[in-house]
Amino acid sequence: MASEEDLIFKELAAQGKELVLGEGREPPNHREQKKQQQQQQQQSIPSRPSGVHSDSAIVHQEILGQERLFQGAFLGSETRGLEFKRGGGEYLSLAFKHHVRRYVCAFLNSEGGSLLVGVEDSGLVQGIRCSHHDEDRARLLVDSVLQGFKPQVFPDAYTLSFIPVVSTAMTSTPLKVIRLTVHAPKAQGQPQLYQTDQGEVFLRRDGSIQGPLSASAIQEWCRQTLPPQKWMVELAKLEEQVNTLTMEKEQLQQQLQRPWPISCTCCVL
């Protein structure tokens, strides 16, 4: 019996085969190969993010990772360089232009930052309804507002993007987060103070907007940031502007106080 088994084993070995004893058992090398294949398949399948967490994160005012956010995800808290706005309703038509003017000016006069529309003040992503037509409107609005800034704001100074929001609710119009990022101004030979298309100046102070600044506040900013000689030049310019405005105001008041002349008209019949 043993000799017959030996002959069978030798014949199978010569053919490159292996005899498996026992029901349902696999050869050791087959089991190892199958285990390796399963491990490779598991590694090739990407992990799916949960419905309440984003696969993106904000680092240094930038959203890193895949360009999408999940509704209900937490993006952290507002900072000096990060501002959240809920948006919704007629926001793009009524308030967006006002916020672009204020926050872009403030970020330009500080160290840059990002305005995110579609995120609650608490940091939770909600998204706003934003079609392709709305995106075009937003781009045109931002460009038109920033073209009136002084000094001139070039296109490479800011980035406008629209991040899709993944939601379990079905909506006819896609949800998105509008992200307007103002890059930190390049170092200049002398500090620059940006003003809006309406001649207003805003600053970013520890998570809040300061402005529009008064003449005295602008003078204080110049005194703290400009060299003494440059500060004196800027102060002289501001004083000249104030004097001009004061004279114009006085002239208008005098014109209003003057009695209107009474005209007499003779009619010959």
In the structure, what pLDDT confidence band is assigned to residue 49 with cuts at 50, 70 and 90? very low
pLDDT digits (tens, 9 = 90+) for 236-245: 777 777 778 7
Whole-prediction pTM = 0.60
Concatenate the DSSP letters of all residues of 114-131 into one string: EEEETB-TTSBB--EE--
In the structure, what pLDDT confidence band is assigned to residue 50 with cuts at 50, 70 and 90? very low
Scanning the chain, the segments in alpha helix (DSSP H) are 2-14, 28-44, 91-94, 96-108, 132-146, 215-225, 228-257
Q: Which residues contact 233 (CB under 8 A, 6 or more apart)?
A: none
**53 or 210, which is more confident?**
210
The domains of the chain, with CATH numbers, are: 56-211 (3.30.950)
Mean residue pLDDT across the chain: 78
In the structure, what pLDDT confidence band is assigned to residue 54 with cuts at 50, 70 and 90? very low
Q: Which residues contact 72 (CB under 8 A, 6 or more apart)?
A: 51, 52, 124, 125
Which structure tokens are listed for 218? Answer: 């602008």
Q: How far apart are CA 4 and CA 66, in angstroms?
A: 65
Which structure tokens are listed for 48? Answer: 């799916």
Element (H, E) at 166: strand 158-166
Rounded to an integer, the average pLDDT of 161-169 is 93
Q: How far apart are CA 234 and CA 176, in angstroms?
A: 44
Q: How far apart are CA 23 and CA 96, in angstroms?
A: 72
Element (H, E) at 223: helix 215-225
CA atoms in the 13 A half-sphere facing the CB of 99: 21
In the structure, what pLDDT confidence band is assigned to residue 91 with cuts at 50, 70 and 90? very high
The per-residue pLDDT for 2 is 52
Query: Of 225, 183, 196, 201, which Cα lies nearest the Cα of 81?
Result: 183
